[in-house]
Structure 1
C-alpha cells in the first residue's frame, strides 16, 4: 500500500483543494489544501499569498500544505517561512497538515522535509498537526501547549526525528501516530530512543498510541506489553508493519494487560491463521485486516518507498 489519495478530512474538518480565484466557503467545517502541480507557473508561496488575499482567509481554522515545489529535491523552507510570516493573519489556525503528497507526485521516501518546529512557535493554538516525508524532518524545541493530535508519516524515521518528539512539551497530547518505517528508507532509531514515551510520563493525557509501519514491529509488540504507558491507552496501533506470530504471541501472553483497550489495530500483518484466532479471543476489538503471507521470507512495511 502507498499513499495514493489526498486527505479528504483532517482534524475534524473536510479538506478541499484551493486554486487562485476560488472563493472560500464553509470555513466552519472546511479547510483548504494549497499545492502546486508540475506544470504550474505559480509557486506555492505565490498561491499562498493569493489565499491570504481572498475574502475570509483570516477566518481559516486550518490549512493543508500539499506539494510545495515542482522539483522533488526542494526543501519546504520557503513554504514554512511564508506560513510563519502569516501568523497574525491566520491567528485562528488550529489544524495544519504539512506534506499531503501522494506517491504519484513524490514517493514518501523522496520527500525532502526540514525543521517543522517554527510552525508550532508561530501557531501556539495548533490542536492537530500532521507531517509526511522523513528526509530532513525535524521538530526542534517542540513546544505546543494545545496540541492534541500529532501524526508523522515516513517511510523511515530517523533517530533525530524520534528524539525531537521524545523531548517535546505536549501536555495536551491525546493521539500520537509515528510511521517508523524501514532502514532502507532512513529509519535508524532504536528502541531506546522510544523509552520516554514507553515510560508513560511524557504525555500524561495520551490515549491513542501508534508505533506503526515498522520493520521491527515484533520487537515493538514485545516491549509495549510491559511498558507503563499501556495502562493509560484506549487504542494501541501496531498496524502497517511486519508483525508476525512472534509479536502476536507477546500480545496473547499479555491478555490481562490489554483487556482495558477499546481497540487494537494490527492491520497489515504476517500472522498465521492460528495466531489470528488467538488474538480474536482476547475479548477486545482487534483489526486484523490486510493479512500477508506468514511464510513469506520477505516481509515489508505497508508504506516505505
Structure 2
C-alpha cells in the first residue's frame, strides 16, 4: 500500500503548510505563531516555475524562523528523478536562521506525488551535523540515502521510512554513536524495492552498546519479520526496552513463537504487531503470555491477508512497499 496522507502532527505539534506565495502572493495573511506548529514547505512535484529552494527562501523571509521548532520538508521538484541534495544544501545553508529547530522530517511525500520507493534522497549526515541540537529526525524514502555513520549528542528520535532499506544504510545507522537516542524506528521493506538488509546488519543495534538510552525499538515493515523476531528473542537491547514494534511486516506464527520462546517480554509496556499473518491460536498464546503482565499488545490484522495460489504457494506482503 502507498502512504495516502501527509503528516498531520510532528514533534507533538500540528503540521501547518506554508502557503504557495509564488502562485498565491496574498496567502501569508494569517500565519500561526512560528513556535506553535510544524511548518511544511513543499511544492508541486511537476512545477517547473519554482524550485523547492525558492519556496524555502520565501519561508525564511516571511516567518520568524528564529522561533521555528519543527520543519517538515514536503515534495521537491521531480522527487522520483531528482535527489534531495539541493534541499539538504538549502537547509544546511540556513542553519543560523533556525537556531530553535529541534525536529526535521525530510520527505513528507504521499503516493500521488511519488511512491515511497521512488523517492530519491541523499546524504543526510550534513543535516545532523548542521543542527547539533536536533532532537528528532525522520526521513521517508531510501533511494540513494546515506546516513553516516555519525555521532550526534542530542538526537532522541530517529525514523527511516522505506519500502526497502538498503543494508548499507542499516549498517551506517548501526555504526553511529547516538547516546541520547530513545526511539529508533526502521522500516526495512522488501528486496524488490532495495531492502536487502539481514539480521547480521542489525547486530550492533540488537546489542545496544551504541544506544545506551534506547527505550523504543521499531524494526518493521519487513519481508524478513520472522527472522527479525527470532534475533530479537535473544537480543541484549530488548531487556531494557519499554516498547518493541515489529508491525507492518510479514510476521507469521514462526516468528511470534521464536519471540515467545526467547527472553521474557513481560517488562515491556507495549508490543506492536499490527499487520500480521498470525493464526488465531498464536494470537491467543500472545495474549495469555503478555497481557496479564500489563503489556499493551496490538494484534490488529489490518489488511494483512495471505493469497493462496492453486499450486500451494502463499503470497504475503508488507504494509508499505512500492
**TM exceeds 0.5?**
yes
Give the Cα–Cα distance (whole angstroms) in 1 for the partners of residues 16 and 45 of structure 2.
19
Would you say 1:304 and 2:321 are equivalent positions?
yes
1:272 CA drift (Å): 0.6
Give the Cα–Cα distance (whole angstroms) in 2 for the partners of residues 141 and 176 of structure 1.
15
Number of aligned residue pairs: 304
Question: Is the CA contact (8 Å cut-off) linking 1:264 and 1:287 kept in structure 2?
Answer: yes
1:93 CA drift (Å): 0.7
Aligned-CA RMSD value: 1.4
C-alpha distance after superposition, 1:233-267 (max 9, x if no partner): 0000000000000011112323x610000000000
1:57 CA drift (Å): 2.1
Counterpart of 1:211 in structure 2 is 219
Aligned with residue 43 of structure 2, among 19, 36, 42: 36
Question: Is the CA contact (8 Å cut-off) linking 2:79 and 2:118 kept in structure 1?
Answer: no
Aligned 1:74-113 pairs, distance under 5 A: 74-113=82-121
Q: TM-score, length-normalised on structure 1? A: 0.96
Would you say 1:269 and 2:276 are equivalent positions?
yes
1:39 CA drift (Å): 5.1
SS at match of 2:113: coil
Question: Is the CA contact (8 Å cut-off) linking 1:272 and 1:294 kept in structure 2?
Answer: no
Question: Is the CA contact (8 Å cut-off) linking 2:273 and 2:297 kept in structure 1?
Answer: yes
Judged with a 3 Å threshold, the aligned counterparts in structure 2 of structure 1 residues 10 and 55 are, in CA distance, closer, same or farther, namely closer
Counterpart of 1:290 in structure 2 is 301
Give the Cα–Cα distance (whole angstroms) in 2 for the partners of residues 293 and 55 of structure 1.
47
Gaps of 5+ in 1: none
1:128 CA drift (Å): 0.6
Aligned 1:1-305 pairs, distance under 5 A: 1-19=1-19, 20=21, 21-22=27-28, 24-38=31-45, 40=47, 41-70=49-78, 72-254=80-262, 257-282=264-289, 283=291, 284-291=295-302, 292-293=304-305, 296=308, 297-305=314-322
Give the Cα–Cα distance (whole angstroms) in 1 for the partners of residues 46 and 169 of structure 2.
32
Give the Cα–Cα distance (whole angstroms) in 2 for the partners of residues 244 and 55 of structure 1.
49
1:294 CA drift (Å): 5.5
Give the Cα–Cα distance (whole angstroms) in 1 for the partners of residues 2 and 78 of structure 2.
20
Question: Is the CA contact (8 Å cut-off) linking 2:10 and 2:70 kept in structure 1?
Answer: no
Judged with a 3 Å threshold, the aligned counterparts in structure 2 of structure 1 residues 65 and 55 are, in CA distance, closer, same or farther, namely closer
C-alpha distance after superposition, 1:71-103 (max 9, x if no partner): 520001111100000000111111000000001
Q: TM-score, length-normalised on structure 2? A: 0.91
SS at match of 1:247: helix
Gaps of 5+ in 2: 22-26, 309-313
Question: Is the CA contact (8 Å cut-off) linking 1:24 and 1:54 kept in structure 2?
Answer: no
1:48 CA drift (Å): 0.3
